[in-house]
Amino acid sequence: MSDNHIDEKKLERALRKIKHCLALSTSANENEATTALRQAQALMREYRLTEMDVKLSDVGEIESQFSRNERRPMWDQQLSGAVAEVFSCTSLRNKQWCKTKQRVVERASFVGVTPAQNIALYAYEALLTKLTTARKEYAAGVRSGKHCSSYSAETAGDHFALAWVGQVHGKLRVLIPQGEDDSIATSSDGRDLVALQSQDKALIAEYLAKNRVGKARKARETELDLNAQIAGMLAGRDVDLHAGIARGGDAVLALSAIA
C-alpha cells in the first residue's frame, strides 16, 4: 500500500473477485448461493484486514443512479440506511438540480472505506428494485380491493414497504458477519474486524465533518396500517437475498467502479 491511498490495482483485483462471488449467488441451490455471498463478504474482510493502515484519503463516496423528485420516501431512506449499517458505511441524501428532468432530485449515496461503499451501493440498488416492484403490487391490490386498508393505496404501500425493509435488514445482518457476533469476535480475525470497524467509523466521521455533512434528522413516528405491516413483513421474509442481490450485477458494479 502506498503512503497516500489504497493500491488501485489491488483494489481492482479485490472488486473482481467480489463481483465473481456475487454473480455465483444467482445459483438456484440455496447452500451454494449462501456460500457465494459469504465468500464475497469474506473477501471484503480479508482485503481490509491486510490493508489496516487506511487514511482519510481512502474514504470515498458513491452515488446511486436512481433518483426521486424532491425527496425520497421514508422506506427508501430506511433501506439505504439499513444497507449502509450492514456494510459499515453511512448513507446520505443528496439533492441536486437535474438537467434532464429540469427539477431538483434526491439520490442516495454511500460513504465508506473503499471498497465497502461500492458493495453497499450494489446491494441497495438491487434491493430497491425488488422493493419498488413489491410495493407497487401491494398498492395495486389495495386499489382493487384484494387487500383491505383504511388508508389510501399509496400510503398503505408505504407502510408495506417500511415493514419489508425491517425484515430484509434482519436477513442481511444474519447473512453478513458482524464484528460483534460471538462466533467471530472470539477469533483473532474477529478482534481485528471489530478494531477495523471502529477505525472505519472514525474515518467516516472525519470525512463527514471535513465535508460539513450534518447529522440526519430522526424520522417522525407515525401510526401504520397493521394489515400493510403484516403483508410487508411476510413479503420481506420471503425475499431471496442469495439470488436477488446478484441479479443484474454486471451493470451495477460497472457503475460502481472506482474511477
pLDDT at 238 over 50: yes
Q: How confident is the model at residue 152 (pLDDT cuts 50, 70, 90)?
A: very high
Structure confidence by residue, pLDDT tens digits, 11-23:
677 667 766 666 6
> Residue 115, preceding bond cis, omega within 30 degrees?
yes
Nearest-angstrom CA–CA distance, 198 and 178:
12
Nearest-angstrom CA–CA distance, 28 and 23:
12
Prediction pTM value: 0.72
Q: How confident is the model at residue 137 (pLDDT cuts 50, 70, 90)?
A: very high
Q: Is the dihedral of CA 192, 198, 204, 209 positive or negative?
A: negative
Cell of 247: 441479479
Nearest-angstrom CA–CA distance, 166 and 175:
15
pLDDT at 198: 81
pLDDT at 166 over 80: yes
Query: Which one is predicted more confidently, 91 or 240?
Result: 91
Q: How confident is the model at residue 237 (pLDDT cuts 50, 70, 90)?
A: confident
